[in-house]
A = this chain, B = another copy of it.
C-alpha cells in the first residue's frame, strides 16, 4: 500500500518520522509492504513552490491508499495580507479529496486523568466520537465584500444540501450503532434556516435507516455547555463544519493532553487523511521533545480505516497504552516529572 507522508511545518517532520518508524515496524512484523513517499505541504511548500499544496503533492496523495499529515503553519506564514497561507492547503486537500467526514475521538487515558482541567468525577468515563462535516457549510460557501454606506460589508454563506447532510449523518449513525448506540446531532435550528434543513434531514436518515439507535438533537450553544458539565453522557456526535470546528476543539481540552489526540478525515472512497489534532508548535520545533503519540495514534486510525488492518491498528494502540501505563512521558504530559525525547517515545512504542 502507498501511504503518502506530509510532514509539514514546525514539529511536523519530527513526529511524522516516529510514525513512519512505527509503520515500518508494523510492515516487518505483519508482513506488509508500505511505500511511503514524502511530499511538501504547508509553509515549507509556500517557501519552495509558492503554493501550500503543490499539484505534485496533490497527485501523489490522490494516488495513495492513505495520507499521514504532521502539522502545518507557523508565525513565518501568518501574515493575513499574504497571497496564500498554509491553511489554504488544508482546506484544498479536504475539498479535492472529498474528505467530508472528520472523525475525532475524545477519550482520556485513565493514567492521565489528572491532567484534565475538569474535575475527575466529571471527565471520568468520557468516550465521545465526533463526526464533523468537513467539505461544506460556511467554510466553502460564497463569500465576498462590497461597498456599503458605512464602509464595507462582508459576507460568508453557510449552506448545506440534503445529500451533504445525509451522508455525514449516515456515517455517524453507523458508527453509533457499532459503539454505544447513541447519536447526538448538533445544530442551531431555532435560529438558522440551514440548521432547520440539517435537523430535518438528520431526523429522516435516523428514523428511516437507524430506528434502533438512540437519537437526540442539541443546540450548539447548549452543547458547548454540556461538553463541560456532562461529557460522559455522549457517544457519537455529528455536526456541521463550523460548529464542529469549535466543539471538537473545546472537546479536545477535556482529556488535558492535546498531544494524544488523533483525527481522521474520510471521503466516499479514495484515500483518507490522518493527523494529530495539535498544531505545528513552532516554539519547540527542532528540539526533539515533541510528543509523537497523537501522530502514532493517527497512524493506527489509518491502518484501521483506510487499510482495514484492524489487528495492526489495535497493536499500535495497545503499544501506546502500555507505554503510558509504564509511565513514559514527553514533556507536554510529564506534569513537571521526568520526560523523554520524541525518539525515545517512538522507541518505546516500537
Residue numbers of A with Cβ under 8 A of B are 80, 85, 87, 91, 117-119, 122, 138-139, 141, 143-145, 148, 150-163, 166, 188-199, 201, 220-222, 224-225, 227-229, 242-243, 245-250, 252-254
Contact = CB atoms under 8 A, between A and B. Distances in A.
A162 B145 contact: no
B228 A246 contact: no
Contacts of A248: 221
Nearest to A245: B221
A186 B182 CA distance: 33
B158 A197 contact: no
Given A119-B118, A252-B225, A253-B228, A158 B159 contact: no
Contacts of A197: 145, 152-154
A220 B192 contact: no
A163 B145 contact: no
Contacts of A157: 155-158
Given A117-B118, A151-B166, 7 more contacts: A80-B189, A138-B191, A152-B162, A154-B160, A154-B197, A156-B193, A188-B242
Contacts of A87: 190-191
A249 B222 contact: yes
Contacts of A253: 224-225, 228-229
Given A154-B197, A192-B156, A253-B225, A161 B138 contact: no
Contact of A119 (B117, B138, B189): B117
Contact of A196 (B150, B154, B166, B242): B154
A150 B162 contact: yes
Most chain B beta-carbon neighbours within 10 Å: one of A117, A144, A250, A252: A117
B224 A246 contact: yes
B153 A156 contact: no
Given A80-B199, A161-B151, A192-B156, A249 B224 contact: yes
Contact of A250 (B166, B194, B250, B252): B250
A156 B159 CA distance: 7
13 contacts: A117-B229, A143-B192, A153-B162, A153-B197, A154-B161, A154-B194, A156-B193, A157-B157, A224-B253, A225-B252, A225-B253, A228-B228, A228-B250
A261 to B, nearest CB: 12
Most chain B beta-carbon neighbours within 10 Å: one of A122, A139, A156, A193: A156
A160 B156 CA distance: 9
Contacts of A192: 138, 143, 156
A148 to B, nearest CB: 5
A211 to B, nearest CB: 20
Contact of A154 (B193, B243, B247): B193
A243 B159 CA distance: 17
A17 to B, nearest CB: 27
Given A141-B155, A154-B160, A158-B158, A220 B246 contact: yes
B159 A155 contact: yes
Most chain B beta-carbon neighbours within 10 Å: one of A153, A228, A245, A250: A228
A201 B225 CA distance: 30
Nearest to A164: B150
Nearest to A191: B139
A221 B249 contact: yes
A228 B220 CA distance: 17
